[in-house]
C-alpha cells in the first residue's frame, strides 16, 4: 500500500505517494526527480546520498522516505542561490581542486555545509573528522579540505 | 607556457558541484526496464541445466537471456577465453549465467531467483601457487584451442608467462658477498570507484546506443560489435559523466548483455550495479601476487644480481592481465642498476573474479615487496636504506633491466627531494618512523585522434575520442589548443566520450589521455592554425610567411595595425571555408632495449618516457594493537614537464591516499568456496578524510626530448602516484616494530602478528 | 524491502497501539533500514515511526541521576555536559558511533534495542547500572540493562514493548570511566573489540570496579573476574594488568574477516587495560579527551590527544 506524504525539497513541496519501505534517496531520485544525491553503496558507508533533513545531514539511502514527510529537505540542487549563484562552498570546491569525478561531491558538499552551519570556523582536523562519513576515491580529500578551510576563513 | 600553467577551472565542474550533471544511473527513459543478472552459484562447476521458464512467466518480465540468446563468440583482448554468458562451465562466483529485464528492480530480482540452474561442482582452485602445480585441475581444459595473441606464452593454468634476463644472474649471485631472499604475498584488492557500474541501452532500428559508465568507450564499442556480431557503425557508446574508474571500468564489461536484453525486450534497459556487485563482478580487480625476491650485493652496497619468481592471479578469465607478468617483472627488477637479472613471472588462472588494469597495475604490490626487500638488504649490509638506494638508483646513461639506456630522467632527484621534504633523519618519538620507497612507471604511447573546429563566432570546439574519468585530463585539453591558437582556454567547448563523434582513442586508461590525445589535440590545433593563417593571408593580402597568430588575431609581423581577429576570420569563413583541424600525432617509438633473453614479450621490455617516484612517509605504529596511522607523506615525482599543476597535484593526492588504503586495509578475503567474504564497504575499508594525512608534493622538472614523450616533454601522470606509497609505509612499520609484514594489506592484525614472531 | 504498513505516532500511546497490532518501532533507521538494504534482514511488515513522539526526546537530570529519552541521539549525548561529566564512558561510546550523520540520526533507544554484541553504548550502560523502561499497551516494567540482552539481536523485551527511557543513577564521588574501542580507522568503525571500565576510588584504593567487554561474546557483559582483580587494589599497573588479563580470559572471540580470535583476545587485554587506566586517570580528576579511543591509538594531525 502507498501512503501520501509531502516532501519539502529545496523549498518546494512535492506531494508523493510512496510504499512504506522506500528510502528517501530512491524517492528523491525517482518521484521528485532530483538525481543530484547519488547511490554509492548498500550499507550507508559512502555518504554520496547525503541530504539535509531539518538542517541535519542524513544518508538518504538509509532513511525511510515517509519519515521525512512534512520536513525540510535540502539536496545538492538546493545549495546554489535562487539566482543560480554558486554557494561559496561550491565555488571553493572548484577553485581548490575538490572535484574530480564528482560522484562524491553532492554528499560531500552537503556534509561540509552541515559542518559550517554548526561550526563556522573548524580547524583542519575537525573538518577531516566531520567529513569522514563521505568517501572520496579521487581527490585524497586534500582539495576538499582546502576548500572547506577557504570558506571557513572567509567567514 | 604561460597559458598552460595558469590554474584553470574544469569545464565540467559547475555541472558537478550543482548536482545537475547526469551520470549513467541518473538517466531515465519512457518505458525503460531494469536489468538484473543471475550470477553463478559456485566458483567452479559444470552447468548441467538452465531453466528460465518460471522467470519468463513472471508478470512484468520482458526478457530473460542466457548464452543461447547471444552469438556463440569468445572474446578477450589477449586470450579469447570467455563468453557473455556461461555455457558449459562457471569459473567464478561473479560469472553471468543469465540476465533479466523487467518493469522494476524488484520484479527483475524475483525473476533472477526463479531461474533454475543445476550444477556439478568442480574442485576449486583459488591459490595461485596451487594452480600452477602439476596435476592441478585445469580451469580451461580447452585452453590450447583458444584464440590468442601470438606473443602470449601459455600452458594450462599459466595464462601468460614472461621472463626477463640480463647478464648471468647465477654467476652474479655466486659472486655476491651477501644474498637476501624473501617472500611476499599481496592479496587481491579493488578499484572501488564511488560510482558503481551502470549501463543503459536503447535500440533504434538495427542500431544501438549505449550509455555506459565505461572508461574506454571505443574498446566497449568493439566489444559489443564483436560479441553481438554487429558492425561498429551500428553501435554508439556515450559516456555521461563518469564517477571514477581507476581501471575498474576499463575494458568491455556489461554493455553487450544490456544491449542484448534491450533488443529482446524492445525497450530501453538500464543496469545499475549495487556495491556488492561492484565487488563480486567488477571484471577488473587488482590482482593478488606471490613474489619471491633474491638479491646479491657486494659489501660496498652495489647490487650484483637479482632473481625473482612472481605468480600473479589472473582470476577465471583474461581481461588485459596477460601483459602484467612482463610489467611486474620490470617492477621486481626496479629502477636500479643491477648487472645480472632474471625474473620469471606467471599469470595463474584461479576461480576468482578476473584481474585487469587497476591504477598502475602490478606496480604498487610489486613495489611494496621490492622496496621492503631493498630495506632488508640494506639492513643486512648495515647501510642506511636511503644511502643504499642513492648508490643503486638509475641515473642518466645507466641501463635498465633490459639494457634500456635512460635519458633525461630525474630518479635520483626524486629521492633527494623526498627525504628532504619529510626531514629524513630528524628526531622522532619512539613509536614513529619514516619509510622511503622508490618506484617507476612507463608512459603508454597509443594512437589517438582529435579535431579542432573554429565556430562561426571565433570560439572553438575540440572533438575528441578521449574519455574523462575525473582526473581532468580531458578538461585540460583546451589549455594545449588555446596556446597554439593564441586563444583563451575558456573559448573552447569539448565534445568527448561519444564514439560517433571523436576519432578512436583508447580511453581513460594507462595515464594516456594527455600523453597521446594531448599530442593529437595539438596536431589538430596546428592544422587549423595553418588554415587560419591561409585565410588571413587572403584577407590581409599579405604574404603567408609574414603573418603571426597571437592573442586571438593574425597580424603582419612588424605592422600590427594590419591584422584580422579569429572571430573575423571565422565570420569570413562561415558557410564557405571549413575551419576544421585534424590531428593524430605519430606514436613515440619505444626506447631501444636488449630483450633477446626475454620471453613473453608484450611490449613492456622497455619503458617509454618512464616516470620516477619517491615517497617518504612518516607513520606512527601502536605497537600493542598493530594500528598504523600515516601522519605525513612527501611525494616527489619526475613526470617530465608538468602541464597542469592543479590537475597533477590532484592525481598525487588521490593516488597517495589510495596507496595508504592498499597498504593498511584494502584487501579482499576469500572463503573456502572462493567467494569474497567482504564485498561491502563496511569490511572493505577505504581511507576516510580523517585517515588521510597532509601530503607534501614535489615535482622534478625533467622534460623528455621532443618525440620521446608526451606534449612538451610530459609523461603520464595519473597512475604513478599510488605506486611507492605501500612500500614506504611498510618500511616505516618495520622500523618501528622491528618486524616485516610480508602480506598486503598490512592490517593491524597482521602487523601485530608479525611482532609476535 | 517488504514493509507493508506504516504509521507515524505522535505519542507513546499511539506507538503502543500500533505495536500491539504487531508493528515494529523505527527511530533513526540506521540499523533497521541499513540492515534491510544490505540484505541482513528485510524490513518488518508493519512499521510505526516514533521520531515525532516528543515524550521520548531529550536528556534530563532527575533526582539521583540522568534520564535518557529513547530518542536521545548519540549527538545529543555527546552534547550533554552531565553525560560527559558523570557518565564519561557513555559519552566516549556515543562519540565514536559511525560518522557525524550516524550520530545525529541514530538514537540510544535504537542502539540498545538492536542489541548488537558490537554496539557501543551497551558496556557503559551496563556498568553504570542503567535501567530501561519498557512500556506496552498492557503495562510498564523496568529492566536493568544487565538483564536486557539475551543474544545477538535479542532482548527480553516482548514484541509489543517500547523502550521509553533509560535511567542511570549518578555514580559515587571518586568515579571515573572510559569506553575504549579498537579502531582501524578514525571514524566509521565497528567494534572489533571494545572495553568499558567504571572505577570508583576511595583514596588510593579501588572501592568499586565495573568492567565489561564488547564484541567478544554473544552479548556484552561484565566480567566478574576482572572486577575482582581490581576491587580493593591500589589501582597499580599490576592490578590493572591482572584485571585486563582476566577480561581477555573471559572473552569468547570468534575469527572472521575483521580479525582472528587470537588477535581479538590479545586486543581484549590491551583495550581493557587502556580503558581501566583512563578510568583511573579520570577518577583521580585527570583530564582525558572524549572520545577516548582515538587518543588511545595515538591521534594524528594534532587531533584529540
Ligand atoms: C554507517 C553506520 C555506522 C554505525 N556505527 C555504529 C557504531 O560505531 N557503534 C554502534 O553502536 N552502532 C553503530 N551503528 C548502528 C546504529 O547507528 C546505532 O545502533 C543507532 O543508535 C541505532 O539507532 P536508530 O534510531 O537508528 O535505530 P533504528 O534502526 O531505528 O532501530 C534499531 C532497532 O531498535 C528498535 N527500536 C528503535 N527504537 C526503539 C524503542 N524506543 N523501543 C523498542 N525498540 C526500538 C527497532 O525496531 C530496530 O529493531 C552504525 C550504523 C551505520 C549506518
Ligand atoms: S548510498 Fe547512502 S551512504 Fe552510500
Ligand atoms: S571526486 Fe570522485 S569520488 Fe570524490
Helix axes B725-737, B748-756, angle to 10 degrees: 40
Flag if A99 and B17 touch (Cβ within 8 Å). Answer: yes
Give the pLDDT band (50/70/90) at residue C270.
very high
Fold of B285-445+606-756: Aldehyde Oxidoreductase; domain 4 (3.30.365)
Centre of ligand 1 to C-alpha C127, Å, is 20
* Alpha-carbon gap, residue B549 to B547, rounded angstroms: 7
pLDDT at res. A155: 77
Q: What is the pLDDT of residues B22-75, one digit of tens each?
A: 999 999 999 999 999 999 999 999 999 999 999 999 999 999 999 999 999 999
The answer to whether C83 and C66 are in contact (CB under 8 A) is yes
* Alpha-carbon gap, residue B587 to B751, rounded angstroms: 46
**B1: pLDDT strictly greater than 80:** no
Q: Across chain C, which distance is largest between two alpha carbons, in Å?
A: 60
pLDDT at res. B757: 87
Which is more confident, B646 or B608?
B608
Give the mutation candidate from C100, C116, C300 for the A interface (greatest A CB count, under 10 A).
Answer: C100
Calculate the average pLDDT of chain B. 96
Atom 3 of ligand 3 has which residue's CA nearest to it? Answer: A136
pLDDT at res. A111: 98
Centre of ligand 1 to C-alpha C28, Å, is 7
Calculate the average pLDDT of chain A. 97
Task: Report chain C residues whose CB lies below 8 A from the CB of A42.
Answer: 37-39
**Rounded mean pLDDT, B630-646:** 94
Q: Count A/C contacts: CB-CB distance under 8 Å.
A: 101
pLDDT at res. A105: 98
Q: What is the pLDDT of residues B65-103, one digit of tens each?
A: 999 999 999 999 999 999 999 999 999 999 999 999 999
- Which residues have C-beta within 8 Å of that of residue B345, sequence separation ≥ 6? B161, B162, B163, B308, B309, B310, B311, B312, B324, B325, B326, B328, B329, B332, B600
**B646: pLDDT strictly greater than 90:** no
Chains that touch A (3 or more CB pairs under 8 A): B, C
Which is more confident, C305 or B461?
B461
Give the pLDDT band (50/70/90) at residue C281.
very high
**Rounded mean pLDDT, B238-253:** 95
Task: Return the C-alpha cell found at B661.
Answer: 588504503
| A47 interfacial to chain C (CB closer than 8 Å) | yes
Give first-to-last CA distance, chain B, whole Å.
56
**B255: pLDDT strictly greater than 50:** yes
DSSP annotation of B136 reads P
Distances (CA, A) of B176 to B301, B302, B382, B394: 10, 9, 16, 20
**B569: pLDDT strictly greater than 70:** yes
* Alpha-carbon gap, residue B629 to B297, rounded angstroms: 33
pTM reported for the whole predicted model: 0.97
Strand B178-186 relative to strand B289-297, pairing: antiparallel
The complex's ipTM works out to 0.98
Residue from C101, C256, C132 nearest C191 by CA = C256
Helix (H) or strand (E) holding C227: helix C224-230
Q: What is the pLDDT of residues B573-601, one digit of tens each?
A: 988 889 999 999 889 999 999 999 899 99
- Which residues have C-beta within 8 Å of that of residue C203, sequence separation ≥ 6? none
Task: Return the C-alpha cell found at C291.
Answer: 572520545
The answer to whether A64 and C29 are in contact (CB under 8 A) is yes
**Rounded mean pLDDT, B653-675:** 97
Flag if B470 and A101 touch (Cβ within 8 Å). Answer: yes
Please provide residue B322's backbone torsions phi and psi, each rounded to the nearest 5 degrees: -55, -20
**Rounded mean pLDDT, B738-754:** 97
Which is more confident, C196 or B757?
C196
CA atoms within 13 A on the CB side of A108: 35
**C304: pLDDT strictly greater than 70:** no
Our mutation pick for probing the ligand 1 site, out of C34, C109, C119, C156, counting the most ligand atoms within 8 A of Cβ, is C109
**C212: pLDDT strictly greater than 70:** yes
Helix axes B363-381, B385-392, angle to 10 degrees: 110
CATH architecture of B25-122+194-244+250-280: Alpha-Beta Complex (3.90)
Give the pLDDT band (50/70/90) at residue B2.
very low
**Is C80 buried (19+), middle (13-18) or exposed (0-12) by CB count in 10 A?**
buried
Q: What is the pLDDT of residues B437-484, one digit of tens each?
A: 999 999 999 999 999 999 999 999 999 999 999 999 999 999 999 999
Centre of ligand 2 to C-alpha C271, Å, is 31
**Rounded mean pLDDT, B303-315:** 98
Nearest Cα of chain C lies from the Cα of A153 at a distance, in angstroms, of: 19
Task: Report chain C residues whose CB lies below 8 A from the CB of A63.
Answer: 28-29, 33, 105
How long, in residues, is chain A? Answer: 155
Flag if B748 and C298 touch (Cβ within 8 Å). Answer: no
**B217: pLDDT strictly greater than 80:** yes
The domain limits of chain B are: 25-122+194-244+250-280, 285-445+606-756, 448-583
pLDDT at res. B7: 61
Q: What is the pLDDT of residues B519-545, one digit of tens each?
A: 999 999 999 999 999 999 999 999 999
* Alpha-carbon gap, residue C65 to C81, rounded angstroms: 13
| C43 interfacial to chain A (CB closer than 8 Å) | yes
pLDDT at res. B48: 98
* Alpha-carbon gap, residue C82 to C96, rounded angstroms: 18
Topology alike, domains B25-122+194-244+250-280 and B448-583: no
| Top-tier CATH class for B448-583 | alpha beta
Q: In what order do the strands lie in the sheet with C24-26?
A: C5-8, C46-49, C24-26
**C299: pLDDT strictly greater than 50:** no
Full set of structural domains in chain A with CATH: 3-78 (3.10.20.30), 88-154 (1.10.150.120)
Give contacts of C 183-212 with B, CB under 8 A: 183-188, 190
**A152: pLDDT strictly greater than 60:** yes
Least confident interval from A28-37, B4-13, B697-706, C111-120:
B4-13
Distances (CA, A) of C46 to A69, B337, B397, B458: 18, 70, 75, 64
**Closest C-chain CA to A57:** C101
* Alpha-carbon gap, residue B39 to B549, rounded angstroms: 60
* Alpha-carbon gap, residue C48 to C8, rounded angstroms: 6
pLDDT at res. C208: 97
Amino acid at each position: 500500500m502507498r501512503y501520501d506524504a509531502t516532501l519539502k525539497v529545496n523549498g518546494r513541496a512535492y506531494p508523493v505517494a510512496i510504499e512504506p519501505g522506500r528510502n528517501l534517496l530512491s524517492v528523491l531520485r525517482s518521484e521528485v526527480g532530483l538525481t543530484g544525491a547519488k547511490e554509492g553503496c548498500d550499507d550507508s558507508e559512502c555518504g554520496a546520498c547525503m541530504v539535509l533533513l531539518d538542517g541535519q545531514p542524513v544518508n538518504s539511502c538509509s532513511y525511510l522516505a515517509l519519515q521525512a514527510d512534512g520536513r525540510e529537505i535540502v539536496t545538492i540542487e538546493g545549495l546554489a542561490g535562487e539566482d543560480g549563484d554558486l554557494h561559496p562552498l561550491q565555488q571553493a570546491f572548484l577553485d581548490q581542486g575538490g572535484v574530480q569525478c564528482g560522484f562524491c561531491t553532492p554528499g560531500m558538499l552537503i556534509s561540509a555545509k552541515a559542518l559550517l552551519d554548526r561550526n563556522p570556523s573548524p580547524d583542519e582536523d575537525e573538518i577531516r573528522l566531520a567529513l569522514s562519513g563521505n568517501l572520496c576515491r579521487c581527490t585524497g580529500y586534500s582539495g576538499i579540505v582546502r576548500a572547506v578551510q577557504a570558506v571557513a576563513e572567509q567567514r | 607556457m604561460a597559458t598552460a600553467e595558469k590554474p584553470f577551472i574544469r569545464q565540467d565542474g559547475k555541472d558537478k558541484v550543482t548536482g545537475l550533471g547526469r551520470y549513467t544511473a541518473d538517466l531515465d527513459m519512457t518505458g525503460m526496464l531494469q536489468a538484473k543478472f543471475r550470477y553463478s552459484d559456485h566458483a567452479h562447476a559444470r552447468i548441467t541445466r538452465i531453466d528460465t521458464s518460471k522467470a519468463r512467466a513472471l508478470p512484468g518480465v520482458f526478457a530473460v537471456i542466457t548464452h543461447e540468446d547471444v552469438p556463440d563468440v569468445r572474446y578477450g583482448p589477449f586470450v579469447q577465453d570467455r563468453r557473455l554468458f556461461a555455457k558449459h562451465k562457471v569459473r567464478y562466483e561473479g560469472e553471468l549465467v543469465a540476465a533479466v529485464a523487467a518493469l522494476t528492480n524488484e520484479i527483475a530480482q524475483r525473476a533472477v531467483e526463479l531461474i533454475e540452474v543445476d550444477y556439478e561442482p568442480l574442485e576449486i582452485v583459488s591459490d595461485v601457487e596451487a594452480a600452477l602445480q602439476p596435476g592441478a585441475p585445469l580451469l580451461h581444459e580447452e585452453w590450447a584451442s583458444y584464440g590468442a595473441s601470438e606473443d602470449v606464452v601459455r600452458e594450462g593454468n599459466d595464462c601468460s608467462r614472461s621472463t626477463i634476463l640480463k647478464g648471468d644472474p647465477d654467476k652474479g649471485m655466486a659472486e655476491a658477498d651477501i644474498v637476501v631472499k624473501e617472500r611476499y604475498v599481496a592479496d587481491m584488492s579493488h578499484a572501488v570507484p564511488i560510482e558503481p557500474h551502470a549501463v543503459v541501452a536503447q535500440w533504434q532500428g538495427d542500431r544501438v546506443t549505449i550509455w555506459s559508465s565505461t572508461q574506454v568507450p571505443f574498446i566497449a564499442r568493439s566489444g559489443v560489435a564483436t560479441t553481438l556480431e554487429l558492425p561498429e557503425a551500428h553501435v554508439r557508446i556515450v559516456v555521461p559523466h563518469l564517477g571514477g574508474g581507476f581501471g575498474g571500468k576499463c575494458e568491455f564489461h556489461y554493455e553487450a548483455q544490456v544491449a542484448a536484453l534491450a533488443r529482446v525486450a524492445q525497450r530501453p534497459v538500464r543496469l545499475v550495479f549495487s556495491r556488492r556487485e561492484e565487488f563480486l563482478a567488477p571484471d577488473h580487480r587488482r590482482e593478488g601476487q606471490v613474489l619471491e625476491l633474491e638479491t646479491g650485493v657486494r659489501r660496498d652496497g652495489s647490487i650484483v644480481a637479482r632473481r625473482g619468481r612472481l605468480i600473479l592471479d589472473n582470476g577465471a578469465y583474461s581481461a588485459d592481465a596477460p601483459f602484467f607478468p612482463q610489467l611486474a617483472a620490470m617492477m621486481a627488477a626496479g629502477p636500479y642498476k643491477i648487472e645480472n637479472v632474471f625474473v620469471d613471472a606467471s599469470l595463474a588462472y584461479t576461480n576468482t573474479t578476473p584481474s585487469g588494469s587497476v591504477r598502475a597495475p602490478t606496480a604498487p604490490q610489486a613495489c611494496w615487496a621490492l622496496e621492503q626487500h631493498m630495506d632488508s638488504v640494506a639492513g643486512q649490509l648495515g647501510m642506511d636504506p636511503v644511502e643504499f638506494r642513492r648508490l643503486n638508483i638509475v641515473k642518466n646513461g645507466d641501463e635498465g633491466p633490459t639494457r634500456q639506456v635512460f635519458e633525461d630522467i630525474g630518479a635520483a632527484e626524486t629521492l633527494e627531494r623526498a627525504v628532504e621534504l619529510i626531514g629524513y633523519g630528524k628526531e622522532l618519538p619512539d613509536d614513529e618512523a619514516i619509510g622511503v620507497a622508490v618506484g617507476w612507471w612507463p608512459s603508454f604511447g597509443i594512437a589517438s585522434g582529435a579535431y579542432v573546429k573554429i565556430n562561426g563566432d571565433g570560439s572553438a570546439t575540440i572533438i575528441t575520442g578521449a574519455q574523462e574519468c575525473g582526473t581532468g585530463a580531458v578538461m585540460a585539453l583546451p589549455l594545449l589548443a588555446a596556446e597554439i591558437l593564441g586563444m583563451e582556454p575558456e573559448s573552447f567547448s569539448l565534445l568527448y566520450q561519444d564514439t560517433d563523434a571523436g576519432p578512436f582513442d583508447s580511453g581513460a586508461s594507462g595515464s594516456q589521455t594527455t600523453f597521446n590525445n594531448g599530442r593529437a589535440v595539438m596536431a589538430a590545433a596546428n592544422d587549423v592554425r595553418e588554415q587560419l593563417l591561409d585565410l588571413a593571408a587572403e584577407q590581409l593580402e599579405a604574404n603567408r610567411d609574414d603573418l603571426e597568430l597571437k592573442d586571438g588575431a593574425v597580424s603582419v609581423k612588424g605592422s600590427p595595425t594590419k591584422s584580422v581577429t579569429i572571430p573575423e576570420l571565422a565570420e569570413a569563413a562561415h558557410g564557405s571555408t571549413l575551419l576544421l583541424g585534424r590531428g593524430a600525432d605519430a606514436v613515440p617509438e619505444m626506447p631501444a632495449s636488449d630483450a633477446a633473453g626475454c620471453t613473453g614479450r608484450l611490449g613492456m621490455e622497455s619503458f617509454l618516457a618512464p616516470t620516477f617516484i619517491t615517497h617518504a612517509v612518516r607513520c606512527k605504529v601502536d605497537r600493542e594493537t598493530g594500528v598504523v596511522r600515516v601522519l605525513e607523506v612527501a611525494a616527489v615525482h619526475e613526470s617530465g614537464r608538468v602541464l597542469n599543476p592543479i590537475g597533477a597535484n590532484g592525481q598525487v593526492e588521490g593516488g597517495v591516499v589510495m596507496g595508504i588504503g592498499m597498504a593498511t586495509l584494502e584487501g579482499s578475503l576469500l572463503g573456502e568456496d572462493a567467494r569474497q567474504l567482504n564485498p561491502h564497504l563496511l569490511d572493505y575499508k577505504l581511507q576516510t578524510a580523517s585517515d588521510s594525512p597532509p601530503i607534501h608534493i614535489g615535482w622534478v622538472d625533467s622534460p623528455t626530448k621532443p618525440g620521446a614523450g608526451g606534449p612538451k616533454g610530459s609523461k603520464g601522470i595519473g597512475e604513478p602516484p599510488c605506486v611507492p606509497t605501500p612500500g614506504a609505509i611498510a618500511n616505516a612499520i618495520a622500523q618501528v616494530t622491528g618486524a616485516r609484514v610480508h602480506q598486503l594489506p598490512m592490517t593491524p592484525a597482521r602487523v601485530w602478528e608479525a611482532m609476535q614472531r | 524491502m517488504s514493509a507493508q504498513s506504516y504509521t507515524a505516532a505522535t505519542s507513546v500511546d499511539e506507538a503502543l497501539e500500533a505495536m500491539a497490532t504487531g508493528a515494529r518501532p523505527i527511530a533513526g533507521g540506521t540499523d533497521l533500514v541499513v540492515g534491510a538494504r544490505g540484505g541482513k534482514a528485510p524490513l518488518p511488515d508493519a512499521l510505526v515511526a516514533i521520531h515525532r513522539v516528543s515524550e521520548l526526546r531529550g536528556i534530563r537530570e532527575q533526582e539521583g541521576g540522568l534520564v535518557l529519552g529513547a530518542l536521545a541521539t548519540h549527538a545529543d549525548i555527546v552534547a550533554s555536559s552531565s553525560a560527559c561529566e558523570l557518565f564519561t564512558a557513555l559519552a566516549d561510546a556515543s562519540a565514536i558511533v559511525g560518522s557525524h550523520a550516524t550520530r545525529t540520526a541514530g538514537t540510544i533507544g535504537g542502539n540498545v534495542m538492536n542489541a548488537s554484541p558490537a554496539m557501543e553504548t551497551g558496556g557503559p550502560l551496563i556498568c553504570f547500572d542503567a535501567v530501561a523502561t519498557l512500556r506496552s499497551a498492557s503495562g510498564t516494567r523496568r529492566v536493568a540493562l544487565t538483564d536486557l540482552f539475551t543474544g545477538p539481536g535479542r532482548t527480553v523485551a516482548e514484541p509489543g514493548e517500547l523502550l521509553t527511557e533509560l535511567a542511570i543513577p549518578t555514580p559515587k564521588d571518586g568515579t571515573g570511566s572510559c569506553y575504549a574501542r579498537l579502531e582501524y580507522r578514525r571514524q566509521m568503525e565497528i567494534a572489533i573489540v571494545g572495553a568499558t571500565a567504571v572505577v570508583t576510588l576511595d583514596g588510593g584504593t579501588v572501592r568499586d570496579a565495573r568492567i565489561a567487554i564488547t564484541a567478544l561474546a554473544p552479548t556484552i557483559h561484565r566480567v566478574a573476574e576482572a572486577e575482582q582483580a581490581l576491587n580493593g587494589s591500589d589501582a597499580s599497573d599490576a592490578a590493572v594488568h591482572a584485571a585486563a588479563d582476566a577480561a581477555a580470559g573471559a572473552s569468547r572471540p570468534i575469527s572472521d574477516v575483521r580479525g582472528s580470535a587470537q588477535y581479538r583476545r590479545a586486543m581484549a587485554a590491551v583495550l581493557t587495560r587502556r580503558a581501566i587506566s583512563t578510568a583511573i586517570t579520570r577518577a583521580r580528576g585527570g583530564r582525558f579527551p572524549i572520545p577516548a579511543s582515538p587518543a588511545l591509538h595515538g591521534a594524528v594531525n594534532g587531533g584529540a590527544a
